[in-house]
């Protein structure tokens, strides 16, 4: 049949000639190929000590952002939790009291904000849903833990460090 | 033999035993490191600098693991298998001449445990005993895979011993002696009477046959069918765990060391090196002996490296290909080698 892709290769199996039948030239060729690899630089990256550079759109651990005055941007609207296909995000909203204007930008803020890192699929939909540019997946790889409960990250791990510290 | 000689022999026995164990220990490390380099990796590098303590870590792991003897296995034979394997691997090095004789005043120290005049036959006998360890272990495991692996090992060893023996016969036509010391002495220096003294230049085909058979006898790739992972799980040591498995793996490396030493002695001049006569006029002959011993170990290391190099290059044979190669190619070639050697020697002697 006519090949449509033009990629078909016709294999012709000729009987081996004398040099091919004694195998030794082929073995020597193979040995030289492996020897050329022997002196090549290893490609291994020794992970905990050496790290590979992430690509620019890598999605790692989440962080809750602060604005230019150091106030938390999150207003606990719940759009991230709603958009999350894995239902990894949950939060409890609270009203900003008088005197807390330097802590929270909006009048409503997230008193508790939890992401279950075992549920999270790092799709980035929370980042896209957020109207306040408060959540970004710009962190590192999520580290390993011994207990499941340790994978539920609260605000202590998620919120960015304050500006002047 | 006086007491001093006897004590020295004992020291030599212990030293050789320790050295062959140490070399086998570090062969496991070298194997992993060499494999890694051939595959553009790093290999073990966590235990100690460059991972140098890795073999000890592995050894401790092997010793501390649980000793399991399957219910339906024959307990005595199950333990006898690996013991025999390691025993036969260790006694092979007794007849290898490690160096020339050291002379201190009147005392002459022979760097060889036993200079018996049937050295090669002894090595042959020990090598063929080695298969019993595998065979007994595989049979005692009471496991289909183990038994298949053991049978493969036995038939493979029998097939390749024939061509190995025939390759040796051609060598014996050249040397005229069975003593390994005698063969090593004949290869003195590097060049004499207008030709190389090393036997590899006199018996190139014989050496090729011998090294192929050595690969088969030590169950190394491309002839590692007895422990063929893809077909037989683990082959003859499927049921083995802890140090009994360790002994099997270890005996393979000791066998590799001994067969490398035999190849270096028979074909690559043993402890001889070029310009040794010139050197012994300049410095003390004892120093020349020590350099010779050192170079002998370098030759052995090169052979061990070659074993590993081949392992990470050539894929495993199919079983019928293995038998084809052994019976239809190597044996006729070995016989032709004997005939050609005989004719050449007859013409040269006329």
B122-149 pLDDT, tens digit each: 888 888 888 888 888 888 888 888 888 8
* pLDDT for B253 beyond 70: yes
Chain A residues within 8 Å of chain B (Cβ atoms): 27, 30-31, 33-35, 37-38, 40-44, 46
Output Rg (C-alpha) for chain B, integer angstroms: 21
d(CA A118, CA B3): 74
Q: Do A31 and B312 touch (CB under 8 A)?
A: no
**CA distance to partner chain A, nearest, from residue B40 (Å):** 4
Name the residue of chain A whose CA is nearest to B311's CA. Answer: A31
- The pLDDT assigned to A26 comes to 87
* pLDDT for B161 beyond 70: yes
Which of B31, B32, B37, B46 should one mutate to test binding to chain A, selecting the residue with the greatest count of A CBs within 10 A?
B37
Q: Could you tell me which residues are beta bridge partners of residue A116?
A: A152
Q: Of the candidates A33, A37, A46, which has its C-beta nearest B40's C-beta?
A: A37
Task: Name the pLDDT band for B1 (thresholds 50, 70, 90).
Answer: low
Compute CA distances A128 → A55, A56, A86, B143, B319, whole Å. Answer: 19, 16, 15, 60, 60
**CA distance to partner chain B, nearest, from residue A47 (Å):** 13
d(CA B203, CA B342): 12
The DSSP output letter for A97 is P
Mean pLDDT for the stretch of residues B282-309: 87
- The pLDDT assigned to A1 comes to 66
* pLDDT for B121 beyond 80: yes
Residues of A in contact with B39 (CB under 8 A): 37
CB B148 within 8 A of CB B236: no
d(CA A32, CA A22): 18
Q: Of the candidates A30, A31, A38, which has its C-beta nearest B37's C-beta?
A: A38
Residues of A in contact with B309 (CB under 8 A): 31, 34-35
d(CA A136, CA A161): 14
Q: Of the candidates A34, A41, A44, which has its C-beta nearest B312's C-beta?
A: A34
d(CA B73, CA B139): 9
Give the closest residue to B82 by CA, choosing from B141, B122, B27: B141
Chain B residues within 8 Å of chain A (Cβ atoms): 34, 36-42, 45, 309-310, 312-314
CB B170 within 8 A of CB B206: yes
Name the residue of chain A whose CA is nearest to B33's CA. Answer: A38
Q: Cα–Cα–Cα angle for B161, B167, B168, nearest 5°?
A: 90
Mean pLDDT for the stretch of residues A89-104: 88
Q: Do A30 and B314 touch (CB under 8 A)?
A: yes
d(CA A123, CA B301): 54
* pLDDT for A70 beyond 90: no
- The pLDDT assigned to B191 comes to 75
Q: Do B309 and A31 touch (CB under 8 A)?
A: yes
d(CA A147, CA B96): 59
Task: Provide φ and ψ at A119, rounded to 5°.
Answer: -85, -35
d(CA A63, CA A134): 8
Q: Do B37 and A35 touch (CB under 8 A)?
A: no
d(CA A163, CA B12): 73
Q: Do A30 and B313 touch (CB under 8 A)?
A: yes
Name the residue of chain A whose CA is nearest to B310's CA. Answer: A31
- The pLDDT assigned to A147 comes to 92
Residues of A in contact with B312 (CB under 8 A): 34
CB B65 within 8 A of CB B150: no
Residues of B in contact with A42 (CB under 8 A): 36-37, 40-42
Task: Name the pLDDT band for A164 (thresholds 50, 70, 90).
Answer: low
pLDDT tens-digit map of B162-199: 888 898 888 888 888 888 888 888 888 777 777 777 88
Count Cβ neighbours within 10 Å for each residue of B124-146 and write b for 16 or more, e otherwise: bebbbbbbbbbbbbbbbbbbebb
Task: Provide φ and ψ at B191, rounded to 5°.
Answer: -140, 125
Residues of B in contact with A35 (CB under 8 A): 309
Q: Do B40 and A43 touch (CB under 8 A)?
A: yes
Q: What is the 3-state secondary structure (H, E, C) of B72-103?
A: CCCHHHHHHHHHHHHHHHHHHHHHCCCCCCEE
- The pLDDT assigned to B339 comes to 92
Complex-level ipTM: 0.76
Name the residue of chain A whose CA is nearest to B325's CA. Answer: A22
* B214: Cβ contacts below 8 Å, ≥ 6 apart: B164, B259, B262, B263
- Identify the three-state secondary structure at position A4: coil
Task: Name the pLDDT band for A165 (thresholds 50, 70, 90).
Answer: low
Domains by residue range for chain A, with CATH: 63-158 (3.30.70.3270)
- Identify the three-state secondary structure at position A93: strand
* pLDDT for A152 beyond 80: yes
Residues of B in contact with A44 (CB under 8 A): 40-42
**CA distance to partner chain B, nearest, from residue A21 (Å):** 11
d(CA A155, CA B11): 70
Q: How far is CA B62 from the centre of its chain?
A: 24
Which of A18, A41, A42 should one mutate to test binding to chain B, selecting the residue with the greatest count of B CBs within 10 A?
A42
Task: Name the pLDDT band for A121 (thresholds 50, 70, 90).
Answer: very high
Please give the interface size between A and B, counted as residue pairs whose CB atoms are below 8 Å apart: 34
Give the closest residue to B228 by CA, choosing from B137, B304, B326, B319: B319
Q: Do A44 and B42 touch (CB under 8 A)?
A: yes
Q: Do B38 and A34 touch (CB under 8 A)?
A: yes
Do strands A63-64 and A89-95 pair parallel, antiparallel, or not at all (unpaired)? unpaired
**CA distance to partner chain A, nearest, from residue B289 (Å):** 33
Q: Do B309 and A34 touch (CB under 8 A)?
A: yes
Q: Of the candidates A33, A35, A44, which has its C-beta nearest B41's C-beta?
A: A44
* pLDDT for B104 beyond 80: no
**CA distance to partner chain A, nearest, from residue B315 (Å):** 10
Q: Do A27 and B314 touch (CB under 8 A)?
A: yes
Q: How far is CA A153 from the centre of its chain?
A: 16
d(CA B247, CA B100): 32
Task: Provide φ and ψ at A111, rounded to 5°.
Answer: -75, -40
Compute CA distances A160 → A16, A92, A119, B68, whole Å. Answer: 69, 19, 22, 54
d(CA A15, CA A13): 6
User: In terms of C-beta distances under 8 Å and separation of at least 24 residues, what long-range contacts does A69-73 make, across chains too?
Assistant: A69/A102, A69/A105, A69/A163, A70/A102, A70/A162, A70/A163, A70/A164, A71/A101, A71/A102, A71/A103, A71/A104, A71/A105, A72/A103, A72/A104, A72/A105, A72/A109, A72/A110, A72/A134, A72/A159, A73/A105, A73/A106, A73/A132, A73/A133, A73/A134
- The pLDDT assigned to A85 comes to 92
Reported as type and span, the H/E element at residue A28 is helix A24-38
């Amino acid at each position: 049949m006519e090949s449509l892709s033009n990629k078909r290769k016709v294999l012709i199996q000729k009987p081996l000639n004398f040099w091919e039948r004694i195998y030794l030239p082929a073995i020597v060729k193979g040995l030289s190929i492996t020897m050329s690899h022997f002196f090549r630089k290893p490609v291994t990256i020794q992970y905990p000590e050496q790290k590979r550079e992430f690509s620019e759109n890598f999605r790692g651990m989440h962080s809750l952002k602060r604005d230019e005055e150091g106030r938390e941007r999150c207003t606990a609207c719940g759009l991230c939790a709603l958009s999350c296909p894995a239902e990894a995000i949950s939060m409890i909203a609270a009203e900003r009291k008088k005197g807390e204007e330097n802590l929270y930008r909006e009048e409503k803020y997230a008193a508790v904000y939890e992401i279950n890192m075992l549920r999270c699929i790092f799709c980035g939909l929370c980042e896209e849903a957020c109207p306040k540019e408060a959540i970004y997946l710009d962190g590192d790889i999520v580290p390993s833990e011994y207990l499941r409960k340790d994978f539920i990250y609260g605000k202590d791990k998620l919120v960015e460090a304050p500006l002047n510290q | 033999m006086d007491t001093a000689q006897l004590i020295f022999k004992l020291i030599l026995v212990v030293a050789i035993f320790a050295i062959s164990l140490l070399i086998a220990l570090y062969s496991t490390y070298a194997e992993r490191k060499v494999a890694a380099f051939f595959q553009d990796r790093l290999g073990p590098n966590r235990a100690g600098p460059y991972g140098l303590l890795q073999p000890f870590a592995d050894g401790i792991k092997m010793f501390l693991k649980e000793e399991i003897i399957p219910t339906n296995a024959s307990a005595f034979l199950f333990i006898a298998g690996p013991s025999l394997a390691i025993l036969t691997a260790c006694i092979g090095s007794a007849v290898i001449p490690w160096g020339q004789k050291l002379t201190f005043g009147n005392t002459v120290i022979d760097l060889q445990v036993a200079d018996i005049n049937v050295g090669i036959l002894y090595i042959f006998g020990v090598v063929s005993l080695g298969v019993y360890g595998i065979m007994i272990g595989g049979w005692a495991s009471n496991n289909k895979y183990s038994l298949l692996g053991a049978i493969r090992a036995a038939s493979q060893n029998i097939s390749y011993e024939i061509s190995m023996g025939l390759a040796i016969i051609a060598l014996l036509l050249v040397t005229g002696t069975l003593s390994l010391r005698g063969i090593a002495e004949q290869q003195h220096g590097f060049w004499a009477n207008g030709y190389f003294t090393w036997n590899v230049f006199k018996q190139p085909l014989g050496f090729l046959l011998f090294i192929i058979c050595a690969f088969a006898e030590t169950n190394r790739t491309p002839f590692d069918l007895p422990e063929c992972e893809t077909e037989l799980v683990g082959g003859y040591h499927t049921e083995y765990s802890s140090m009994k498995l360790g002994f099997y793996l270890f005996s393979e490396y000791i066998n590799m060391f001994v067969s490398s030493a035999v190849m270096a002695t028979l074909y690559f001049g043993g402890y001889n090196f070029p310009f040794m006569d010139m050197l012994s006029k300049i410095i003390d002959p004892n120093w020349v002996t020590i350099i010779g011993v050192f170079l002998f170990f370098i030759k052995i290391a090169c052979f061990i490296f070659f074993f590993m190099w081949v392992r990470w290059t050539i894929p495993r044979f199919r079983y019928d290909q293995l038998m084809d190669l052994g019976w239809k190619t190597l044996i006729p070639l070995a016989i032709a080698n004997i005939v050609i050697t005989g004719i050449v020697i007859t013409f040269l002697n006329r």
